[in-house]
Amino acid sequence: MFNKILIANRGEIALRVVRAAREMGIQSVAVHSTADSDAMHVRMADEAVCIGPPSSMQSYLSIPAIISACEITGAEAIHPGYGFLSENANFVQVVQDHGLKFIGPTAEHIRVMGDKITAKETMKNLGVPCVPGSDGGVPDLETALKVGEEVGYPVIIKATAGGGGKGMKLANSAKEMENAFRTARSEGKANFGNDEVYIEKYLGTPRHIEIQVFGDGKGGAVHLGERDCSLQRRHQKVFEEAPGPAIDAETRAKIGKTCADAVASINYAGAGTIEFLYENGEFFFIEMNTRLQVEHPVTEAVFGVDLVREQIRVAAGYDMSFKQDDLQVLGHAIEVRINAEKLPNFSPCPGKITQYHAPGGLGVRMDSALYDGYSIPPYYDSLIAKLIVYAPDRPAALARLNRALGEMIVDGIDTTTPLFHALLQEEAVQTGDYNIHWLEKWLEENTNPA
């Protein structure tokens, strides 16, 4: 087992890894920018190294700075968390070239799944169902119009290297294709340095269902059920739950086995999430994330496992501590993402926390790096906390979430907490009868969810 690992991240996910390492008897090294000198992950880790100024490009995205921090502290492995360099194949290669261990999949697996066209082709060849669309990239408008005619409108044009809703444009007809095609390409070029796009059939009322998989890198893999992440704003998830309210045990076992078999066949190592659109009983692959997900705690809750601990074990060469038959869904879990944002426009709201109280009690988990007096810097993502609740069933989990939200105090800044108070009053949320478009429409009709 590793003696010391470095965490190439910040905020609540860095703190999450620190905690797992400490329980395993492993020393942890935090890295931080000058803006994060007083951050909780810096305080809680065994060692801390400043790696640059506030800009992510000069700190958390600086590969030389992170490798230097490993060499200075004697860390043997790097946990990337999520975001930043977690899905950067070049980073993984550099880590390996310096004799260090990357706590995650291989550079090749990250590279394959990071290109959405290659990922789709790979999954199709592995027997995973995919959305109808273009065979690979679409080079020009003429080809795009031909694909649109063959697939049938509406279609969605996506940047190959896209993510977070950037480089995605909808075309409801051939008339709309030209503008959507050009815009998707320009956004892809501006945000990811790659203007290649592909086209998929646009599904009208799908749910967003993702399957958690875990591989040992030796041809063995399991699935840990699904998460429903359909409540989204601008393609960003805000409310996630496990198990999905629209998925039964038979469906879960079938799609789960398909995904586990797929990653086992390529000797995938560590945690991964295969994301689907689900409509009329059919699954359509959209992408695979080769890292830990923001919403991993709901899976941990219903399966009773520690995914970060398992990541570290497998990276150190150990076998997985569970087999498929050991993994049974028990109860229901929900996570809401608390952002430092001002409603109704969701504008960033950094600032000093004047008072903070985390909710508690049975079945309540708060993943956050907040504390009284902490100043949220303006340079990074606005996610400041994840509130996770667990209960024997979905109605009880919703009631527990409502209670926990009422206990939480975050003063000094605005947060998105009022949004969740409002959503819990909606019948569609109470019954689980929603799709990926529901929240956007609800926000249009409720301009001030507070």
* Residue with tokens 């923001």, as numbered in its chain: 294
Q: Name which of 15, 59, 73 is nearest 39 in CA terms.
A: 15
Task: Tell me, yes or no, if 291 is annotated catalytic.
Answer: yes
Candidates 15, 45, 7; CA nearest to 386 is: 15
Strands (E), 13-76: 27-33, 47-52
Provide Rg for the chain, Cα atoms: 21
Token pair belonging to 96: 């390996």
| Strand-pair partners of 264 | none
User: CA 110 to CA 106: how far, in whole Å?
Assistant: 6
Q: Cα–Cα distance between 85 and 79 in angstroms, integer? A: 10
In order, the DSSP letters of 265-283 are HTT-EEEEEEEEEEETTEE
Sequential DSSP letters for 380-431: S-SEEEEEEEEESSHHHHHHHHHHHHHH-EEESS--SHHHHHHHTTSHHHHH
What is the Cα–Cα distance from 81 to 170, expressed in whole angstroms? 32
CA pair distance 89, 205, nearest whole angstrom: 34
Give me the catalytic one of 185, 291, 309, 313.
291
For 370-399, letters b (16+ CB in 10 Å) and e give beeebebbeebebbbbbbbbbbeebeebbe
Q: Give the burial string for 320-356 (b: 16+ CB within 10 Å, else e).
A: beeebeebebebbbbbbbbbbbebeebebbeeebeeb
Residue 434: how many other CB atoms lie within 10 Å: 23
User: Which value, to the nearest 10 degrees, does the dihedral of the CA atoms of residues 224, 309, 306, 335 take?
Assistant: -90
Tokens read off for 450 = 């507070």
Beta bridge partners of 3: none
43, burial (CB in 10 Å: exposed 0-12, middle 13-18, buried 19+) = middle
Give the residue numbers annotated as catalytic, written as ranges. Answer: 291
